[in-house]
Amino acid sequence: MTILSNNYSQLHAVIYVYLYVALYGDKKKSLDEIEAIKNLIKDWDKSGNVDNFYKETKEWFEQDKATGNRKNSFELCVDYLNECLDRFHKPAFIQDLNTISKADGEIADGESFLIKEISEKLGCDFNDSKNESTQKESPKPVQHDGYSGFNVILQSGGANKLAVVKLLKEIMKTDMKECKDMVDNAPSLLKKGIDQTTAEYIKMSIEEVGGEIKIISNSSSNDNSLYTVIFKKPGADKLQMVMLLMDIMKLGLKDAKDIVDNPPSTIVEGIDKTNADFIINLIEKIGGEAKAVILPQSN
């Protein structure tokens, strides 16, 4: 497993990659891009330590210049983030790199090359934004198809969370970090639209190690309407709400922050009542407010 020095955290790795793309990818060394980096990381840590993180990373970056080690550290950070970031935050990270590179009006060839390299390492789709308009577009609500069957929701990890995490790794076929996030942020949607036998098996397996599972039948409801979820208020912890919307909408940090700072906004549309209620529950759990509105039926 790729690891950083004990002196550095995940945020240090993020900033290092930001700096490398901005300073090595663009010969103009744009101050606008450096300012964009600082703006992107300002809301990552409510303790007020972000300035220190940036200063420490910049010192690390400069130390590597003296030893010719910047490329190695860059690759180390990308590998580390590939292991640490979940499937939602990886594309958001790439979007943030595009945002930084556009800060001076265009994405340079070197920046485009580096972002493509990082995208491939993280297993993300790469869209060459050099040929796109630099005008910012408002994020679009997530579109979902309705589905039948059963949803499996992890209500709680119980007393033995580690056992639940290990079991989820087998069930979900994903890494330990993502499974730990599901347990720590319960209620979490584990499976949707699956058959009843599979749903009951998952419920039985997780409850055997102390977890709590809820199964919801989509087909048992007479409500066939589709719903839009409207985000109304962020609550006291705006940073946590930003991170949640990044997960739900697959957005970068800046776009998610814009939604949190400027409610009301439509965040998801075209989903059934069960899943609309699930998303509202996640938002309300961290102090926010949202509502579900029925989409008008087309004739």
Q: What is the CATH number of the domain that holds 86?
A: 1.10.3680
Percent with pLDDT over 90 in the chain:
9
Structure tokens at 251: 């957005």
Please say if the pLDDT value at position 245 is more than 70: yes
Last residue in a domain, options 159, 189, 217: 217
Same domain, 188 and 236: no
Least confident of 34-48, 57-71, 95-109, 235-249: 34-48
Give the total number of structural domains in the chain. 3
The dihedrals phi and psi of 128, each to the nearest 5 degrees, come to -70, 100
Please say if the pLDDT value at position 232 is more than 70: yes
Question: Residue 155 is part of a domain; what is its CATH number?
Answer: 3.30.1390.10
297 DSSP 8-state letter: P
Same domain, 243 and 185: no
Is 2 a member of any domain? Answer: no
Note the pLDDT of residue 164.
Answer: 92
Same domain, 111 and 45: yes
- Give me the domain span that covers residue 182: 147-217
Note the pLDDT of residue 30.
Answer: 63
Sheet with 289-294: strands ordered across: 142-143, 265-271, 227-233, 289-294
Note the pLDDT of residue 44.
Answer: 56
As a whole number, mean pLDDT of residues 202-228 equals 76
Please say if the pLDDT value at position 299 is more than 50: no
Please say if the pLDDT value at position 195 is more than 50: yes
Spatial distance between the Cα atoms of 218 and 91, rounded to a whole number of angstroms: 30
Is 70 a member of any domain? Answer: yes
Same domain, 116 and 48: yes
Same domain, 27 and 125: yes
Spatial distance between the Cα atoms of 85 and 99, rounded to a whole number of angstroms: 19
Same domain, 124 and 163: no
Please tell me the number of Cα atoms within 13 Å of 212 on its side-chain side: 8
Same domain, 249 and 200: no
Structure tokens at 93: 């990270």
Is 1 a member of any domain? Answer: no
As a whole number, mean pLDDT of residues 114-135 equals 67
Same domain, 208 and 235: no
- Mean pLDDT of the residues in the chain: 79
- The more confident residue out of 6 and 160 is 160
Same domain, 111 and 161: no
Same domain, 201 and 232: no
CB contact at 8 A, 256 and 245? yes
As a whole number, mean pLDDT of residues 106-124 equals 85
Note the pLDDT of residue 107.
Answer: 81
pLDDT band at 132 (very low <50, low <70, confident <90, very high): very low
Most confident of 24-33, 239-248, 282-291: 282-291
Question: How many Å separate Cα 72 from the centre of its chain?
Answer: 26
Last residue in a domain, options 187, 217, 247: 217
As a whole number, mean pLDDT of residues 8-37 equals 79
Same domain, 166 and 261: no
Please say if the pLDDT value at position 89 is more than 70: yes
Last residue in a domain, options 217, 245, 266: 217
Note the pLDDT of residue 45.
Answer: 57
pLDDT band at 130 (very low <50, low <70, confident <90, very high): very low
- The more confident residue out of 142 and 10 is 10
Same domain, 236 and 211: no
Spatial distance between the Cα atoms of 237 and 226, rounded to a whole number of angstroms: 30
Instruction: List strand residue ranges (DSSP E) for the chain, in order.
Output: 142-143, 150-156, 188-194, 212-217, 227-233, 265-271, 289-294
Note the pLDDT of residue 134.
Answer: 36
Please say if the pLDDT value at position 247 is more than 80: no
